Structure 1
Amino acid sequence: MSRDSINIIFEWDGEAMRPLSRFHNLANAEFVVGERYRCEVQEDRSWVSHKHQFAWLHEAWLSLPEHIAARFLNEDQMHKHGLIAGGFCDSTTVPCASRAEAERWYKHLRSREPDTVISINGNVLIQFTAWSQSRRAMDAKTFQKSKQAVLDYVDDLLGVQREQAA
């Protein structure tokens, strides 16, 4: 089975990085004695911060005025739109033969993938899909930035004024 990366937790003992005992066999299977490997520090992400985001998203969803709430099927869709608005997304550009064809594709994609944001520019359809915020998909720093982007998006929906930096 091919994979892009593996997660093994190591502990620094003052001289060497040593895998925690539960990762020892995996480290032996993956690494060759005497070879060199690049080590990238990956900060652990707080579950408290993760749960906090979804708690305030739920509260914000319940607080939306009806005319704004009608734009979203549920709080998860609002969350994904916030990620997209913050740039935490992938985009797919599809040139179509005509604007009419782009509009047909728009209707088709909208019915199948309601959580994406789709726009049409002339005869070009652009689809934006939010990134996952799972612990596997996002490191701690990216998660915090994406969480702030979603908070800012929801604040804008609610008309909440953020404090300006002096």
Structure 2
Amino acid sequence: MHQRCNNHRSSHYDRYGGRGIVVCGRWTSFENFLDDMGPRPRGTTLDRWPNADGNYEPGNCRWATSKQQCRNRRSNRPVIRDDGLRFATMAEAAEATGGTDASATSAQAGRNPSRAHLELLRMSGPVLLTWDGEAFHPANRHWARECDKRFMVGEFYTLAEHNDRSMNSHRHYFAAVNDAWRNLPEHYSGLPFAESAEHLRAYALIRTGYCDAHTIVCSTKAEAARMAAFIRPIDAFSVVDVKEATVTRYVAKSQSMKAMGKQEFQESKTAVLDFLDDLIGVERGTTQRNAGAAA
């Protein structure tokens, strides 16, 4: 739970902390967590429910079986059978028909397949795959995780080649951020945001306002200082601020067109690059031009 939400190096961070999901302040204490949730029953794990997009906090968590967990995934889509019955997941629709002809259609896609696999039209962005002569495979671990989030094992999906010029623009943006990181002045050496290009990008997003703020109100200033000291090492990509007895943790937003929308996504890239130019002390637009020349 804490690793997923606070450790940027965790393989699951992008699906939890990267989306702004946090562990409530009360559960920084294991004793409080145990008091709220009780011992873990055999065969269960922690599940965020009823709001799968909510935080880890009392009232939004349960001990759930693997079956319950699978039916509470964000990637699930509701389906409607031909007779009008609605089901929360394809698995529930298939169970209702004994696993034979489910005749279900995606409530979002508006299709009407008559196969038990209930073909689902995906409404998300493209996935990068490689062809080895026999089968397609995710290009790297990131895309493997994306496939795990979007698709269901055993289902059938139709592939369509995707040529997106915006992908080149996105690569150029990350090249510009990396160039800015390499050119940081020496006096920034040793600061958390100077550790890597990714640290720098997260810091720039936060400083330009593209972030989520999570506040913890402590009983004393000393307690707030201890809480901040506890949080900072857990997630070096966030910014932790202490004012009086209040601790505020700023977490960069997930910077993608899907998460932000086209306009905010483009505006965030411009804001980050302008911030980096100011940080380095060069004319705005320099970092972007240099990255383009290097490409």
TM value normalised by structure 2 = 0.41
What CA distance in whole angstroms lies between the structure 1 residues aligned with 2:241 and 2:272? 20
- 1:30 is aligned to 107
- 2:143 is aligned to none
The answer to whether 1:138 aligns with 2:260 is: yes
Match of 1:112 among 212, 234, 251: 234
Match of 1:129 among 243, 251, 263: 251
Task: Sort the Cα spacing of 1:5 and 1:137 in 2 relative to 1 into closer, same or farther, 3 A.
Answer: farther
Q: Equivalent pairs: percent with the same residue?
A: 36
How far 1:151 sits from its partner (Å)?
0.7
What CA distance in whole angstroms lies between the structure 2 residues aligned with 1:70 and 1:145? 29
> Tell me, what secondary structure is at the counterpart of 1:136?
helix
How far 1:73 sits from its partner (Å)?
1.7
What CA distance in whole angstroms lies between the structure 2 residues aligned with 1:45 and 1:145? 18
Q: Which structure carries more relative contact order (alpha carbon 8 Å, separation 6+)?
A: 1
- 1:23 is aligned to none
Q: Per-residue CA shift, 1:78-114, capped at 9, x if unaligned?
A: 1001101111110011111111111111111111011
Task: Sort the Cα spacing of 1:147 and 1:93 in 2 relative to 1 into closer, same or farther, 3 A.
Answer: same
- 1:70 is aligned to 190
- 2:153 is aligned to none
> Tell me, what secondary structure is at the counterpart of 1:133?
coil
Match of 1:49 among 164, 169, 173: 169
The answer to whether 1:103 aligns with 2:225 is: yes
- 2:149 is aligned to none
What CA distance in whole angstroms lies between the structure 1 residues aligned with 2:208 and 2:245? 25
Task: Sort the Cα spacing of 1:70 and 1:85 in 2 relative to 1 into closer, same or farther, 3 A.
Answer: same
TM value normalised by structure 1 = 0.71
Q: Structure 1 stretches (4+) deviating beyond 6 angstroms?
A: none
CA radius of gyration, larger in? 2
Equivalent pair of 1:155/1:161 in contact (CA under 8 Å): yes
| Bigger mean CA offset, 150-159 vs 66-75 | 66-75
What CA distance in whole angstroms lies between the structure 2 residues aligned with 1:29 and 1:50? 32
Equivalent pair of 1:57/1:79 in contact (CA under 8 Å): yes
Counterparts of 1:83-94 in structure 2, within 5 Å, are 83-94=205-216
Equivalent pair of 1:68/1:157 in contact (CA under 8 Å): no
- 1:59 is aligned to 179
What CA distance in whole angstroms lies between the structure 2 residues aligned with 1:70 and 1:155? 19
What CA distance in whole angstroms lies between the structure 1 residues aligned with 2:240 and 2:167? 32
| Bigger mean CA offset, 75-84 vs 135-144 | 135-144
User: Number of residue pairs matched?
Assistant: 133
